[in-house]
A and B are shown apart, each in its own frame.
Chain A
Amino acid sequence: MELENGVQRWIVDISKWNPSPHYFSFAMSFLPHHDHSSITRFVKMEDRKRALVSRLLQYALVHQVLGIPFDEIIIRRTPEGKPYLVCDNTKLAFPNFNFNASHQGDYVAIASEPICLVGLDIVSHSLPKNETANEFIQNFSSYFSSSEWYHIMSAGSSDEMLHIFYRYWCLKEAFVKAMGTGIGYKLDDVEFHQTNWNNIFVKVDGKELKDWKFWLLELGRNHSVCIARGHPRTAVTSYRTTLKCIDFDDKEYYNGLHLPNACFTFQTVEDLIAVIYGANEVPFDISTKCNVSEDEGSERARFAQQRR
């Protein structure tokens, strides 16, 4: 399989998805049972929506790109919370397939790579509620390098200040998420450089990381999304152990680093369910396996009928 097929960027606009409680349960029933509590633990419905769609994206992507039967897809999380695919590695078509998901505001997205580590982050440029833009941003001063901070502070307006702040935050998040660490990483030593948010590179402790690439895109109204691509060696231990391969010769890694950055393709929840449902080629008793009520089981059958 061509390496480029391992580079995927899928995104769902959930502002357009307002399911009834019944439909929500129906959608959730397509996920393995043990994933359900990690969705329902969220108090706010918007968070549950994002959690559900994030998981649908993960299973749908893995099934579609790697061709693993849905039943055999095992996705777990590191102690830091980063999801990863568990499976018999020899079957994987790509040297080091890995993915990362993100959600905020109106969007939930996933990105995958066949060789490099990938980190993905979406930020919503929301106005702070209980304080001014400046007061809000001051909370985070210790996470920025002095040049980044200068850039933020010398913006012309508080709106512009927020935009610059959120973009840098997005870059930093994508970077730490690629590696699998939490927010505790010393981010003031991580300094992003860019020209109009293009040609983005990072310096850590003053040294440029030449084996990383970053892209920052604007999404819809007031959202940014960042993709970070980097060397698997830099993954945090708990995540590194989940990777198939972390050592690449220079040529192979260079190829991986310079693969085209695919465009985001917009999916709907129905699209994702269709991908997952299509995976269930072998007929089995859906309702028993996934603890779905009889109603949901027959709704699923009706749904499948419509898609064919």
Chain B
Amino acid sequence: MASATASSVSFTSLSSSLRQNQVSHLKKVSVSFGGKSFKPVPLRFRVACAAKPETVEKVCEIVRKQLALPADSAITGESKFASLGADSLDTVEIVMGLEEEFEISVEEESAQSITTVQEAADMIEKLNEKK
């Protein structure tokens, strides 16, 4: 967790400088105090090995189907479910869909923390490792 001080803090994504099989989850966050441009977002920093592209692709497919997005719509690892139009019902169904497709069981607390395709894919791989 970054500690916030009364100054401008920004973190930029390092994904371009890492090799292909490593993806940084350092998300670009911009925090400034004192001005009106405050966007409180949960700060999550995880550096993990990337989920297999097939996993990410399958997750995209499940999300695309659940949210009735056209086949050519741009869904990537970074895509946030909410931005794609998912409401609370959709989010539950997406997690259910993932549980079925990948034969895993997701705890409710973990389900809460999945907000993007990449996070879902990473969680799937993590749960599969434990099998």
Q: Which residues of A contact B (CB under 8 A)?
A: 32, 34, 38, 41-44, 46-47, 74, 76-79, 104, 129-130, 136, 139-140, 142-143, 169, 173, 182-184, 186
Tell me the complex Cα distance, A78–B68, Å: 29
Q: A139-B96, A184-B112 are in contact. Are A74 and B36 (CB under 8 A)?
A: yes
CA distance A286 to B69 in the complex (A): 37
Q: Are B108 and A184 in contact (CB under 8 A)?
A: yes
How far, in angstroms, from A77 to B38 measured CA to CA in the complex?
A: 9
Determine if B125 is an interface residue (Cβ-Cβ < 8 Å): no
| Number of interface residues, chain B, beta carbon within 8 A | 28
- Return B95 CB to nearest CB of chain A, in Å: 9
Q: B85 and A43: CB pair below 8 A?
A: yes
Closest 7 CB pairs of A and B: A184-B112, A34-B37, A41-B83, A44-B85, A47-B85, A139-B96, A79-B42
Given A41-B83, A43-B84, A79-B41, A184 and B111 contact (CB-CB distance below 8 Å): yes
A-B contact count (CB 8 A): 55
Within the complex, which residue of A41, A47, A169, A183 is in contact with B112, where a contact is CB–CB below 8 Å? A183
Q: How far is the CA of A143 from the CA of B36 in the complex (A)?
A: 38
Per-residue contact bits, chain B 73-107, to A (CB 8 Å; 1 contact, 0 not) = 11000001001110111011100100000000000
Question: Which B residues are closer than 8 A to A by beta carbons?
Answer: 36-42, 65-66, 68-69, 73-74, 80, 83-85, 87-89, 91-93, 96, 108-109, 111-112
Q: Which of A34, A38, A46 has the most CB of B within 10 A?
A: A34
Q: Which residues of A contact B85 (CB under 8 A)?
A: 42-44, 46-47
Contact partners of B38 in chain A: CB under 8 A:
76
> In the bound complex, do residue A43 and residue B83 qualify as a contact, i.e. CB atoms below 8 Å apart?
yes
Across the interface, which residues of B come within 8 angstroms of A46, CB to CB? Answer: 85
